[in-house]
Amino acid sequence: MEYFQHLLIMVLIYACLTVSLDLNIGHAGILSFGHASFYGIGAYTTAILTVYAGLDWFSAMVLAFATGAIIAALIGLPTLRLGGDYFILALFGFSLIVTSLIINMEWLTNGPFGIRGVPRPSIGPYQVQSGYGMLGFIAIMTAFIFFVHWRFASSPMKAALHAVRDDESVAMSLGINVVRTKITVFALGGGFAALCGAMGAFYFRFVSADSYGLQTIILLWAMLFVGGNCSLLGAFVGPAVLMLFPEMFRFIGGQGWDIGHIQEALYGLLLILLMMFRPQGLVGNKVGLRT
């Protein structure tokens, strides 16, 4: 059972990351290559505040959100004015800097060894233990994050955001403050990614730099595009397929097979076929895609 609990928790955390990445990529057309870094910033903020500063879990989580949002706003301020491809490269540079800082700022981050012993969340006298308690905690957080995104997707803000995504100059001519809209939504995306980092830190009780690099960025993008843009359901489907699909291969094949390689090849094939035959994602919205 523990194995399934683990898989479910991972799917939920990645679903939260995907839905917050969708806020940037799907709704606002901000092709963020920094999402995994904000995820890492949230995880490290939580670990440092609870383990080193002895702060309670809830305050640490709120501060993780704020830190992610503020750093995203500061990074967005100069970079969101850049054109699409330049913005991608700038954010790629940002993510390299974040990884490098985490590894080298040993006095704060304990360098390549990471930080151990993040406490489990507790509500009153009840301390969340591993297993069902943790699954419940992550499920509640997921429900909260999806609720916020659902409220957003049914608010008038959405139309303004899609307008900015479709045509910035026309949006500006209607009096929409394009740069401010983009910075706000980028900061929110960064904040929610950091919140996911806090969730991950509470679950693993351990943070380390190599969980928040290039591989995670690519995985998150793949999850978003497999599930589909601008879709709450897609943000579940993408992570579920990409987390569970490789796991299925654990149960097939015989002894002596080099499962690892077959697994990765099939995984790659799945991505190629999907982009060829269903570019809008499994449950996504065709019009949400940028052409």
Partner 1 sequence: MLLQVNNLHAGYGAKQVIHGVDINVREREIVAVLGHNGAGKSTLMSAIFGAIPVVSGSVFFAGADITYSAPSDKVNAGLGYSPQGGESFRSLSVIDNLTLGGFALKDQSQIPGRIKQVQELFPALYERRNSRAGSLSGGERQMLSLGALLIAAPRLIILDEPSGGLSPIMVDKMYEAIENVAKTLNASVLLVEQEAHHALEIADRAYVLGNGRVTFEGPAKELAESDKLSNLLLGF
Q: Please say which residue, 173 or 255, places its beta carbon nearer to partner 1.
A: 173
Tokens 């790629």 sit on residue:
92
d(CA 227, CA 241): 8
Binding residues among 43-72 for partner 1 as defined by CB under 8 A: none
Closest CA to 111 of 124, 125, 101, 120: 101
CB of 155 to partner 1, least distance (A): 12
CB of 178 to partner 1, least distance (A): 9
Q: Please say which residue, 131 or 279, places its beta carbon nearer to partner 1.
A: 279
Q: For residue 207, what is the enclosing H or E element?
A: strand 206-207
Q: Please say which residue, 90 or 163, places its beta carbon nearer to partner 1.
A: 163
Q: Please say which residue, 106 or 167, places its beta carbon nearer to partner 1.
A: 167
CB of 79 to partner 1, least distance (A): 19
CB of 201 to partner 1, least distance (A): 37
Are 60 and 46 in contact, with CB atoms under 8 Å apart?
A: yes
Q: What is the largest CA-CA distance in the chain?
A: 65
Size of the site for partner 1 (CB under 8 A): 19
* b/e burial code for range 270-290 (CB count within 10 A of at least 16 → b): beeebeeeeebbbbbeeebee
Q: Please say which residue, 12 or 23, places its beta carbon nearer to partner 1.
A: 23
Binding residues among 269-288 for partner 1 as defined by CB under 8 A: 287-288
CB of 25 to partner 1, least distance (A): 14
Binding residues among 150-209 for partner 1 as defined by CB under 8 A: 156, 159-160, 162-163, 165-167, 169-177
CB of 90 to partner 1, least distance (A): 19
d(CA 279, CA 33): 20
Q: Please say which residue, 160 or 209, places its beta carbon nearer to partner 1.
A: 160
Q: Please say which residue, 177 or 215, places its beta carbon nearer to partner 1.
A: 177
DSSP states of 100-139 as a string? HHHHH-HHHH-GGG-EE-PPPPEETTEEP-TTHHHHHHHH
Give me the helices (H) in 174-231, please. 178-204, 214-227
What's the sign of the alpha-carbon dihedral 157, 160, 166, 167? negative
Binding residues among 99-158 for partner 1 as defined by CB under 8 A: 156
207 forms beta bridges with: 115
Q: Please say which residue, 62 or 163, places its beta carbon nearer to partner 1.
A: 163
CB of 24 to partner 1, least distance (A): 16
Are 99 and 44 in contact, with CB atoms under 8 Å apart?
A: no
CB of 89 to partner 1, least distance (A): 21
Tokens of 134: 């943790």
Are 200 and 23 in contact, with CB atoms under 8 Å apart?
A: no
* 81 to 100: interface string for partner 1, x by CB under 8 A: --------------------
204 forms beta bridges with: none
Interface residues with partner 1 (CB under 8 A) are 156, 159-160, 162-163, 165-167, 169-177, 287-288
